Structure 1
Amino acid sequence: MRQEVDGMKSVHEGVLTLHKPHPLVADQRGNIDEMESKLTTEAAVSKCEVIQVAIVCAGHNSSRSMVTLIKSMLFYRKNPLHLHLITDAKAHLILSTLFDTWSIPQMEVSFYLADNVVSEVSWIPNKHYSGVYGLLKLTLPKALPSSLRKVIVLDTDVTFATDIAQLWALFQNMKSDQALGLVENQSDWYLGKLWKNHRPWPALGRGYNTGVILMDLSKLRSMNWPHLWRMIAERDLQTMLSTSLADQDIFNAVLQQNPRMLHEIPCHWNVQLSDNTRSESCYTEVADLKVIHWNSPKKLRVKNKHAEFFRNLHLTFLEYDGNLLRRELFGCSNYSTNKQASSYINHEQINEDDACYEFRCVKYIKYRTHLFYLDYDYEQESSDGSSEWDVTLVAQLSMDRLQMIESLAKHWEGPISLALYMSDTEAQQFLSFVISCETLANRKNIGYHVVYKEGSLYPINFLRNVALGQVTTPYVFLLDIDFLPMLGLYPYLKRVMSNLHMSEGNKALVIPAFESLRYRLNFPKTKADLLKMLDVGDLFTFRYHVWPKGHAASDYPKWRSATTPYKVNWEQDFEPYVVVRRDVPEFDLRFAGFGWNKVSHTMELEAQNYQFIVLPNAFVVHMPHAPSLDIAKYRANPLYKRCLDTLKSEFMSDLSIKYGKTFPVGN
């Protein structure tokens, strides 16, 4: 790993040509830098010392930027880490799932609910785009455990370019009365010269940026920090009326009154890329860069002389394969968080000599999962009681099906839960796709859950379970991404579920499936339109020519003339698209790639005595696309077929034991 780091530095040195700072600025900064460099060299961090890091993270977008920060820390780190995350409920769900599935050795994560301390700062009028969460760093001495003596506090929009242990070592340079280590502000904001009548909060000189803080919690607690900052904030708010830079204004006001608390750290530990900054004065060569801070609402679009270089560095970590960061710190065996370095669990239960070893591993892989990758906001509110019958469409996809999301969104106005199987690089391409697509950018009721690639088989049932697990509506419509629902299906389902008393007993509403062999299709608006297209050969019953068993039980001949819902019996190999309660059994994880992934699920519904009820005025249409890689493997590899047959037999046996029923094995 050391070679990778060195290689990255050499590339950067070849790309970026840095100019020298103004001599006067260089003298001022140089004195601090030289002194810190000497002290830090003498006071190195012990190899297995745990580095404590605190981050405030709220909302979906903040969780994404924090992942890039964590990647940059993990890339360079040589010490165990303990993250202390102050989160809202949304970020807690996202990040707890992410770190649990990421399984990074020698890294602990503790969560603290922001709601417990929001009241400490919510009284402060604040104009900053971060809202009340931009003030929460003021509460850290109270919010964090009393046993925690010191912590590095970071904004989510920073990127490391070196080992964080070097920053941790700077604590040892702080004098007895210095409780806060900060980098001087690199803009003219606190000088009050940016525009006419600009009135910033009081500060020492240029003020200090709070994107990176060395916070000595013990010292702050001993000086009654909550009382200190509140007293000064209340006084200054009488004239300032509100904060413009959130916690930064209040930290600076406190330091202006209590300068002895401050320990100034070298500016390359917080190279600030906001507008109107003089960050270029912090570095003369790439080796000087330690932490890059995108402290502007524009983020990566900020104007800076070396912005392209900084963006490339940021994108390096943004797209870096996070699975490669699951590496052990071998010299710190005495520090353990009981996490595996591998993404596999119960690995010893799998016989490596088994011919189907690859297939059996799928069940045990712990796929790194980032829930709600984009903003999601859906509340079930209905004055007519229809929320009782609300339904979410559930599907999964890989990058090669990405373009189908837009069409799906146009056909289904209700909530959607999608699991996307992607690499880190593909996730960024997906993000750009959604942002640039007007249809999708305006939809906030689509939950996108990114599952990062691992292994050689497509984990289709794992993906379905991820998407299913994040549904909040009472009912789900289990579909595949390459189908388009008939227009108006969402309101139709809510009406029909009420009439069918879906809440009573186990019911599965079957939506008949059809297919087009044409890439350009005049989509049928009604059942009458669909029947005409069937008669002239523009549409067909789904997979009639290759897999009729899958949907034959829906009884297409009866559906043609049906006007009321009708029950059908389960048949061997039946795999319909159904609407069921949200508490439906999960899909069996042993089935990955191609084959039997839906059949096994329908069979378990039958084992639980679900009634299959076909809806007479509903349909979905499969749109043509290139075959998946997994179906190509199935067709070309005899071992694939043999292993699938083995998994089928084992599933049938397990199902019989679980429910006391026997089922015929399909072909």
Structure 2
Amino acid sequence: MLCPCRGKLKLLVVSLSFVILFTWLYLLVGNSENGRSLLLSACLVESTEARLLERDVLASRVREVEEENRQIRLQLSQSQGLAAQPVEGNYGNQQWVASADTGPEDAENTAEERANHSECSRSPTAEKCELIHVACVCAGHNASRDVVTLVKSILFHRRNPLHFHFITDTVANQILSTLFQSWMVPSVQVSFYDADELKSEVSWIPNKHYSGIYGLMKLTLTKALPSNLSKVIVLDTDITFATDIAELWAIFRKFTGNQKQVIGLVENQSDWYLGNLWKNHKPWPALGRGFNTGVILLYLERLRRIGWEQMWRLTAERELMSMLSTSLADQDIFNAFIKQNPVLVHQLPCFWNVQLSDHTRSEQCYTEVSDLKVIHWNSPKKLRVKNKHVEFFRNLYLTFLEYDGNLLRRELFGCPSQASSESTVLQHALEELDEDDQCYDFRRERIMVHRVHLYFLQYEYTPTDDGTDITLVAQLSMDRLQMLEAICKHWEGPISLALYMSDAEAQQFLRYAQASEVLKNRKNVGYHIVYKEGQFYPVNLVRNVALRNVNTPYVFLTDVDFLPMYGLYDYLRKSIVQLDMASTKKALVVPAFETLRYRLSFPKSKAELLSMLDMGTLYTFRYHVWTKGHAPTNYAKWRTATTPYKVEWEADFEPYVVVRRDCPEYDHRFVGFGWNKVSHIMELDAQEYDFIVLPNAFMIHMPHAPSFDISKFRSSPSYRYCLTTLKDEFHQDLSRKYGSAALKYLTAQRNI
């Protein structure tokens, strides 16, 4: 299909000739004796003043014409340059033309730069509200984290509804399905496809690429994606968009000019496929520099029609006879296929996939960074890659990395709303709230859906054979981060932590964890990010996120500012067996103590702890401010106890306990400070759990600055009033749920 600029070429040439002739005629008439004689009759009837005015007007006109002349020459030179190159490297129609005084590579670079700045290379616009389909292969914890930054950059610029198609392993499926369900972005659909079901399609291909078998999955998309899906944009997870993805989607319309084109790709910007990187370097066959598969336009309908599955398999089988394995996974097979079938590829301008890998010439494909559309961090060095504009690229990437994802929950203007069932339920619940209620903010917090990213870091867990394994469960915010290393040293078993953080804080935590020798060597710690939103700390919601994502049959419910005694993990596992936790409803109480010293020689035994208690180095927890919280533990009895003993529930009891994983969750209505653990222990009692104090277990609270929420509670009468109101409502709900037996809690509260 011819570029529209070529159609204007003749008109531009004629216009330029006319302007030059007009300018020359004026100068000739204004400066020659013969010219003056031709105009003599006109000049005789004009005054001198009129002649001067006319000359000024004509002089002004000449300047305007000269400026127009300059602009036309500029357009003409661009048009001539475009005429000498294939439009977007369109292999189905191309005719390569190079200037006589330039080498092939110079002509290629110059043509590519002109294409990036020309009208011809501009993409047509997508239809308003047209649904855009995007596919990604995503496996594992790290790739799941990377894909979130890609999605943010797409959502930031988009003006069209989107449908994401993720080919995932079990880990990525769990992470991303939870993330999108809790994100609730309007006009965004998400579908998942099991990578395990596709492995047999590509597992026969020997592959040296670090991505393993998942690096070959893009070859299977015609089979994996729905048969009625006609086209899709395929992206690697290490991509950042700097423009609206609709511009890329609209390029599919250019495929209609050549019915044979089925794949849109950007030329590879490294020398890999030229085979000159090192001695005896032998890459797979490719057309010239080859193509990069980080960004692909796949015309699925046409691919299926030409028998894509059979064609790429035959190509791979043929080349593997000599190459033995792939080095760049699917990219090698795509390029070998294109080498044999160049008419099927539609070359995209380089700004749709600026590759920041080693040995690239990406800097030659653009003149201004503002021209770029898509940045591809395909170097193992990632942000440390060498490029003259690397600071610009890094800042663009960091912008989306730390961007508040809650701000992307915006409706599309002028498009029909495609609200999810979850967002519809939430909207109805919000509408039922009374905005004049003094406790409106508390009630709103209870039903708010927070964005959740499970397993933010690598997580590995192997179940034990005896069925007694136990996970430490806790929540924290940024100001408690320093406790993590100490907890990991005191507790060798699995840990489930929910972290309440902003997007930017989550990245700070990531850097902290990766720099810590203790944390990066512990793979049995599940870190789950609950993103900040609202006025209050949703402490019980955050606790429940940690509790729901436990893989062991038992949980130790604690707080992150407590250090367990050394060996507590093994002691609890033995106690679980001795007390027959599997078939009885028991809550094992771990007695809590505290120190006011920031530096503490941690006791190695119960005897050492009792000695420190007698010397005043340690105290029973909250003995001086909230005695009732742990008084039922009966510390006096614990001092001499050698066997577990049962205690009865009392008002405001809030011990730290070991229970089965199927215990009731925490009540979301309690946010910030106050009654968040008390209400949970009350419900355990309502479900007839027995509270059993362990005689040889203990934990110690470490000192820290007061939280923001406790300061708010102490200074705000409204806060205290609403907490009392929520307590009363909780008692009423408990009575409705558990019947007359729950009336004792209301009676106990009134007797306080």
TM tier relative to shorter chain: over 0.9
Distance, in Å, in 2 between the alignment partners of 1:418 and 1:337 is 28
AA in 1 matched with 2:487? L
Cα distance between partner residues in 1 of 2:426 and 2:208 = 43
1:66 is matched with 147
Which one of 231, 238, 259 corresponds to residue 321 of structure 2? 238
Whether 1:38 and 2:117 are equivalent positions in the alignment is no
Q: Which residue of 1 is the match for residue 202 of structure 2?
A: 121
What is residue 655 of structure 2 aligned with on the other side?
Answer: 576
Q: Aligned runs of 1:53-132 on 2, under 5 Å?
A: 53-132=134-213
Q: Secondary structure at the match of 1:443?
A: coil
Q: Give the distance between the partners of 2:438 and 2:598, measured in 1 at CA.
A: 39
Distance across 2 between alignment mates of 1:111 and 1:426: 29
1:155 and 2:207 aligned: no
1:544-563 alignment runs, 5 A limit = 544-563=623-642
- 1:206 and 2:285 equivalent? no
Amino acid at match of 1:578: V
What SS does the corresponding residue of 2:676 show, helix, strand or coil?
Answer: coil
Q: Could you say which residue in structure 2 is the equivalent of 1:216?
A: 299
Letter in 2 for 1:632: S
**CA positional deviation for 1:611:** 0.5
Corresponding residue for residue 260 of structure 1? 343
Q: Does 1:585 align with 2:664?
A: yes
Q: State the match for 1:363 in structure 2.
A: 446
Identity, in percent, stands at 65
**Aligned alpha-carbon RMSD (Å):** 1.5
Shift of 1:588: 0.3
The C-alpha deviation readout for 1:35-92, integer Å capped at 9, x for no partner, is 7x43755x32111101110011110100111000000001111111110111111000
2:113 and 2:365 in contact (8 A); partners too: no
Aligned to 1:309: 392
Matches within 5 A, 1:496-511: 496-511=575-590
What does residue 466 of structure 1 align with? 545
In the alignment, what sits opposite 1:287?
Answer: 370
Tell me which amino acid in the other structure corresponds to 1:165: A
Counterpart contact for 2:186–2:417, Cα < 8 Å: no
| Counterpart-to-counterpart distance in 2, 1:68 and 1:574 | 44
Note if contact 1:326-1:341 (Cα within 8 Å) is conserved in structure 2. no
Structure 1 CA distance, aligned partners of 2:666 and 2:138?
33
Task: List gaps (5 residues or longer) in structure 2.
Answer: 1-104
Does structure 2 conserve the Cα–Cα contact (< 8 Å) formed by 1:395 and 1:464?
yes
Instruction: Give how far 1:118 is off.
Output: 1.1
Deviation at 1:23, TM superposition (A): 5.1
Q: CA deviation at 1:115?
A: 1.0
**Contact kept? 1:162, 1:290, Cα under 8 Å:** yes
Residues 1:272 and 2:355 are matched in the alignment: yes
Counterpart for residue 27 of structure 2: none
* Structural mapping, 1:522-533, within 5 Å: 522-533=601-612
Distance in 2 (CA, whole Å) between partners of 1:54 and 1:82 is 8
Deviation digits for residues 98-137 of structure 1 (CA, Å, limit 9, x no counterpart): 0011000011111111111111011111111111001000
> What is the alpha-carbon distance in structure 1 between the residues aligned to residue 419 and residue 308 of structure 2?
34
| Stretches of structure 1 lacking an aligned partner (at least 5 in a row) | 1-21
Provide the rounded CA distance (Å) in 2 between the counterparts of 1:345 and 1:91.
31
Query: Would the aligned equivalents of 2:411 and 2:417 in 1 still touch at CA under 8 Å?
Result: no
Counterparts of 1:466-505 in structure 2, within 5 Å, are 466-505=545-584
Cross-structure match for 2:312: 229
From the superposition, tell whether residues 33 and 232 of structure 1 become closer, same or farther in structure 2 (CA, over 3 Å). Answer: same
Partner of 1:324: 407
How far, CA to CA, are the matches of 1:357 and 1:334 in structure 2? Answer: 27
How many angstroms apart in 1 are the aligned matches of 2:581 and 2:486?
A: 29
Amino acid at match of 1:240: M
Q: 1:509-537: per-residue Cα shift (whole Å, max 9, x none)?
A: 00000000111111111000100000000
More moved, 111-120 vs 416-425: 111-120
**TM-score, L = length of structure 2:** 0.84
Contact 2:136 2:166 in 1 (8 A): yes
How far the C-alpha of 1:336 sits from its partner, in A, is 5.0
Is this contact kept in 2: 1:39–1:173, CA < 8 A? no
Distance 2:610 2:474 in 1: 26
- Aligned equivalents of 1:350, 1:593: Cα separation in 2: 20
SS at match of 1:292: strand
- Displacement after TM superposition at 1:32 (Å): 4.5
Letter in 2 for 1:158: I
Match of 1:167 among 219, 234, 248: 248
What is the rounded CA distance, in whole Å, between the counterparts of 1:279 and 1:211 in structure 2? 14
What is the alpha-carbon distance in structure 1 between the residues aligned to residue 117 and residue 426 of structure 2? Answer: 43
Distance 1:345 1:296, change over 3 A: farther
The partner residue of 2:489 within 390, 406, 410 is 410
Query: Which residue number in structure 1 is paired with residue 749 of structure 2?
Result: 665
Aligned-pair CA distance for 1:494: 0.7
- C-alpha displacement at 1:270, in angstroms? 0.1
Alpha carbons 1:328, 1:341 under 8 Å: kept? no
Q: Is 1:349 the equivalent of 2:428?
A: no
Displacement of 1:309 in angstroms is 1.6
Distance 1:208 1:236 in 2: 17
CA contact (8 A) 1:182 1:264 kept: yes
Alpha-carbon offset, residue 321 of structure 1: 0.5
- Structure 2 CA distance, aligned partners of 1:488 and 1:573? 29
Q: Which residue of structure 1 lines up, in the alignment, with residue 456 of structure 2?
A: 373
2: distance between equivalents of 1:138 and 1:337? 31
So what's the TM-score if we normalise by structure 1? 0.94
**Pair 1:176–1:30, CA change in 2 (3 A):** farther
1:398 equivalent in alignment to 2:477: yes
Q: CA deviation at 1:236?
A: 0.8
> Are 1:59 and 1:90, in contact at CA under 8 Å, matched by a contact in 2?
yes
2:380 alignment partner in structure 1? 297
**Residue in 2 that maps onto 1:178:** 261
Q: Tell me the distance in 1 between the aligned counterparts of 2:207 and 2:233.
A: 24
Deviation at 1:337?
4.7
Matched, 1:195 2:278: yes
Q: 1:211–1:529: structure 2 CA closer, same or farther, 3 Å change rule? A: same
Cα deviation digits, residues 608-641 of structure 1 (max 9, x gap): 0000000000000000000000000000001111
Contact 1:40 1:170 in 2 (8 A): no
**1-structure distance, mates of 2:626, 2:276:** 74
2:51 corresponding residue in structure 1? none
Asked whether the equivalents of residues 429 and 447 of structure 2 are also in contact (C-alpha less than 8 Å), the reply is yes
* In 2, Cα distance between equivalents of 1:135 and 1:493: 46
Taking the aligned partners of 2:555 and 2:163, their CA distance within structure 1 comes to: 38
**1:144 matches 2:225:** yes
CA distance in 1, matches of 2:108, 2:361: 10
Ranked by relative contact order (alpha carbons within 8 Å, sequence separation 6 or more), the top structure is: 1
Query: Is the 2:187–2:417 contact (alpha carbons within 8 Å) kept by the matching residues of 1?
Result: no
Name which of 13, 18, 28 aligns with 2:111. Answer: 28
Question: Partner amino acid for 2:431?
Answer: E
Q: Do the aligned partners of 1:178 and 1:260 also contact (CA within 8 Å) in 2?
A: yes
Q: Mapping of 1:437-448 within 5 angstroms?
A: 437-448=516-527
